[in-house]
């Protein structure tokens, strides 16, 4: 199975680059399943039902979010009703929506999509490690589901890496979001789980993590409440991670970053294979 994960969409520029390229990518890469993090899709903060529908129409199969998920209150009834749109798993019981969902790929195979939020330098939600353990224990990879993708939304690279290792051997892909900067550590962990600390964003990189740089710089320099941050509107880069799984186990065979458009250098998938531990 080939699964593409697109990093945080930021504003109109991020939406447009995904809407433009995703249909072609599904065909060119023979994608079986696509997940998009869209928590910053609506003018940089939150998302709406309309945006979700647009992403589904061009080929997204599931949408994940993060700490900005509730910025547009209109998303609450939508996220409560559609199991393809997730909020972080480790919100307290009674929070609208769901943090994990089994979604059918177009060929009928089942993919468990999990959205979890870290706690270091973030909101103090419930324990993400315990929350992920529970959902993985109840959905064993290769038995209950054909693939497992986990979006780890967090600030600290150490916490994301720790969650990656906790999930090793139990998930197809663990990929980070939130920092909007693509990391260079795409790899298949020893137990067979593909991992990248952050997928990066789909947005304009002539910016401060997707926001207009002048306003962001002024906030750092003066600490005075001023103009609200707004998304940068220049040509956007689409940053994503592609994983190919083994059909019998659901574990990763290969993983690679994908970057298209905008200011960043193009990165077309040149797969990073799993290490042959038997030869070592």
Residue 200 DSSP symbol: -
- The candidate with the shortest Cα–Cα distance to 249, out of 165, 106, 145, 108, is 145
DSSP sequence for 22-55 = HHHHHHHTT-SEEEEE-TBTTTTS---HHHHHHH
Specify whether 68 is catalytic: yes
The answer to whether 260 and 269 have CB atoms below 8 angstroms apart is no
Catalytic residue among 68, 72, 139, 178: 68
What b/e readout covers 237-265, taking b as 16+ CB neighbours within 10 angstroms? bbbbbbbbbbeeebbbbbbbbbbbbbeee
What is the three-class DSSP state of 276? coil
Cα separation of 235 and 203, whole Å?
8
Active site residues: 68
């Amino acid at each position: 199975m080939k699964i593409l994960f697109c990093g945080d969409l930021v504003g109109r520029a991020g939406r447009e680059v995904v809407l433009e390229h995703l249909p072609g990518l599904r065909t060119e890469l023979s994608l079986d399943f696509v997940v998009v993090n869209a928590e910053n899709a609506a003018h940089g903060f939150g998302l709406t039902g309309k945006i979700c529908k647009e992403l589904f129409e061009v080929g997204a199969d599931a949408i994940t979010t993060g700490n900005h998920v509730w910025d547009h209150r209109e998303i609450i009834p939508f996220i409560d009703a559609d199991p393809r749109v997730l909020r972080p798993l480790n919100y307290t019981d009674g929070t609208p929506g769901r943090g994990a969902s089994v979604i059918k790929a177009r060929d009928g195979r089942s993919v468990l999509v999990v959205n979890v939020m870290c706690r270091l330098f973030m909101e103090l939600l419930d324990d993400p490690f315990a929350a992920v353990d529970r959902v993985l224990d109840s959905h064993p990879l290769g038995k209950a589901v054909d693939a497992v993708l986990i979006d780890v939304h967090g600030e600290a690279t150490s916490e994301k890496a720790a969650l990656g290792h906790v999930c090793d051997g139990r998930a197809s892909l663990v990929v980070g979001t939130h920092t909007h900067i693509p990391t260079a550590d795409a790899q298949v962990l020893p137990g067979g789980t593909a991992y990248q600390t952050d997928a990066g964003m789909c947005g304009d990189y002539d910016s401060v993590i997707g926001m207009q740089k002048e306003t962001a710089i002024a906030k750092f320099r003066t600490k005075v409440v001023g103009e609200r941050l707004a998304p940068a509107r220049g040509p956007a880069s689409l940053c994503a991670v592609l994983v190919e799984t083994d059909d019998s186990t659901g574990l990763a065979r290969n993983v690679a970053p994908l970057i298209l458009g905008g200011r960043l250098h193009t990165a077309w998938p040149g797969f990073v294979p799993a290490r042959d531990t038997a030869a070592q």
